């Protein structure tokens, strides 16, 4: 397109080069009565399209979902990222260590609408701004990981009501992340294979009914759970609940070995390893299962079968609310302290970097039946993600097993220091920027990450 003069008139005529005629075709020409008018042709249409394209402001190229202190709802920001993967079926860039682990994706009106519904802050940026972000990431201890597909999520939970809530269920529901529920029947029938990510919470896989005998053996809810568990064991052909739970524990281990991802909190972390180490040896007091403990049980523990812990000592007294010396706890008394997230090299160790993305690196502690893990009992192959300020315990860890991976997180409820049996559920509307809860959500997106070759 060019400007040119015609017949000494001082007015410039807007013209477009005609490649077929080898000439300039004017779009505005002078008529006999000295009025100017448009000369319509196919070239006029081209010009109109050109003007519309270059004069109407272009939409932004990308949506940035910040995860620093600018974010209005950190928890639902993860729900927005999951929505993009699941409903829009487009990739999400996880910008590790950039503004506390922000997300970026293509700009679509539906994504803007969803962000508005969830109350999540987004920033609209153009291609130049996106390129600048990637340049910063390339030069600093940052990395971008491509999330490709929404993982299929499931939570291990019974169909009967328990007198406590589950932090993961609460945060998934609050963040609007869809998930399924499963329990022992689904596990034993091979149903785990359809999931990418499973969660275990305040569970007892050793078959000791949560070690609640000392405090709640006369409570109606406890008696009902014992009866229901015994009936379930009989239905599946087991003479004891501990045998049923061992079969479930082995299936969960196989799920990870085959490539699944496991996330566990509170008593599920150590009771799972206790069950796997016992491996069928009777470690349960007669008050619980009706027959004596194997006197040689200590020598029969097989730590090669466990996920994260080794060389631990069992606590078999039914009146003590503890499975083993794995847990470092003071029974919900006093100040739970804080725990500190480790910083990793994003380009060398993207997996632990993903799992520790946060807008705080020091987080308030919280109790659980299993509050934290004794450092001296953790296998050397495990990566420690966060330590407590007591110098002897670990709050958060991860490891690989077979083709899969797992993460254990101590404590029961990140927004409730001492959540106890019978207490009502946490209202996450009051904790939408919780750094403790945010660690849970890092884990649900981990299976969506496109695998990258390590740089070392």
Give the residue with greater pLDDT, 321 vs 408: 408
Contacts of 234 (CB under 8 A, 6+ apart): none
- The pLDDT of 276-301, averaged and rounded, is 96
CATH pick for 153-448 out of 3.30.450.20, 1.10.150.530, 3.40.50.880, 3.30.310.40:
3.40.50.880
- % of the chain exceeding 70 in pLDDT: 81
Is pLDDT above 80 for 77? yes
- Per-residue pLDDT tens over the stretch 257-286: 999 999 999 999 999 999 999 999 999 999
Closest by CA position to 328, among listed 399, 269, 262, 277: 269
Domain ranges of the chain: 2-55, 62-147, 153-448
Contacts of 209 (CB under 8 A, 6+ apart): 222, 225, 226, 229, 241, 288
pLDDT at 12: 34
Closest by CA position to 78, among listed 147, 29, 5: 147
Which ranges of 258-383 does DSSP label H, i.e. alpha helix?
267-278, 286-289, 297-300, 350-355
- Per-residue pLDDT tens over the stretch 131-179: 999 999 999 999 999 999 999 999 999 876 664 578 899 999 999 999 9
Contacts of 316 (CB under 8 A, 6+ apart): 283, 284, 285, 293
Is pLDDT above 70 for 333? no
Is pLDDT above 50 for 2? no
Which ranges of 7-161 does DSSP label H, i.e. alpha helix?
42-55, 74-83, 109-118, 127-139
pLDDT grade for 398, boundaries at 50, 70 and 90: very high
Which secondary structure element, helix H or strand E, spans residue 399, and what is its range? strand 393-401
Give the residue with greater pLDDT, 443 vs 336: 443
Is pLDDT above 60 for 23? no
Mean pLDDT score of the chain: 86
């Amino acid at each position: 397109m060019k400007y040119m003069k015609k017949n000494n008139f001082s007015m410039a005529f807007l013209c477009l080069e005609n490649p077929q005629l080898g000439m300039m075709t004017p779009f505005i020409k002078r008529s006999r009565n000295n009025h100017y008018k448009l000369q319509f042709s196919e070239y006029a249409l081209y010009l109109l399209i050109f003007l519309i394209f270059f004069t109407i402001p272009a939409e932004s190229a990308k949506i940035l979902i910040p995860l620093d202190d600018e974010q209005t709802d950190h928890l639902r920001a993860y729900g927005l990222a999951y929505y993009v993967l699941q409903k829009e079926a487009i990739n999400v860039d996880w910008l590790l260590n950039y503004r506390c682990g922000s997300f970026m994706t293509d700009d679509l009106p539906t994504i803007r609408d969803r962000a508005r519904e969830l109350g999540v802050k987004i920033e609209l940026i153009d291609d130049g701004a996106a390129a600048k972000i990637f340049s910063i990431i390339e030069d600093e201890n940052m990395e971008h990981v491509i999330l490709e597909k929404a993982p299929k999520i499931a939570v291990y939970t019974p169909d009967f009501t328990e007198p406590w809530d589950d932090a993961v269920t609460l945060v998934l529901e609050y963040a609007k992340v869809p998930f399924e529920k499963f329990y022992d029947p689904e596990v034993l029938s091979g149903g785990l294979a359809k999931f990418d990510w499973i969660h275990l919470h305040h569970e007892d896989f050793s078959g000791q009914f949560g070690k609640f005998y000392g405090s709640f053996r006369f409570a109606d809810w406890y008696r009902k759970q014992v009866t229901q568990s015994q009936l379930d064991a009989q239905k599946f052909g087991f003479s004891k609940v501990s045998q049923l739970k061992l079969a479930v524990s082995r299936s969960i281990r196989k799920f990870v070995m085959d490539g699944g991802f496991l996330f566990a909190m509170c008593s599920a972390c150590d009771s799972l390893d206790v069950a796997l180490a016992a491996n069928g040896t009777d470690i349960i007091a007669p008050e619980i299962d009706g027959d004596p403990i194997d006197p040689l049980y200590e020598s029969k523990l097989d730590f090669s079968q466990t996920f994260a812990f080794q060389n631990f000592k069992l606590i078999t007294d039914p009146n003590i609310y503890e499975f083993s010396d794995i847990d470092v706890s003071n029974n919900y008394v006093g100040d739970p302290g804080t725990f500190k997230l480790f910083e990793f090299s994003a380009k060398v160790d993207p997996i632990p970097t993903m799992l520790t993305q946060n807008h705080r690196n020091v987080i308030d502690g919280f109790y659980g039946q299993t509050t934290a893990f004794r450092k001296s009992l953790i296998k050397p192959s495990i990566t420690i993600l966060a330590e407590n300020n007591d110098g002897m315990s670990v709050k958060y860890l991860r490891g690989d097993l077979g083709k899969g991976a797992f993460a254990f997180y101590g404590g029961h409820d990140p927004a409730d220091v001492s959540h106890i049996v019978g207490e009502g559920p946490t209202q996450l509307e009051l904790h939408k920027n919780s750094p403790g809860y945010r660690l849970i959500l890092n884990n649900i997106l981990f299976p969506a990450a496109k695998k990258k070759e390590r740089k070392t």
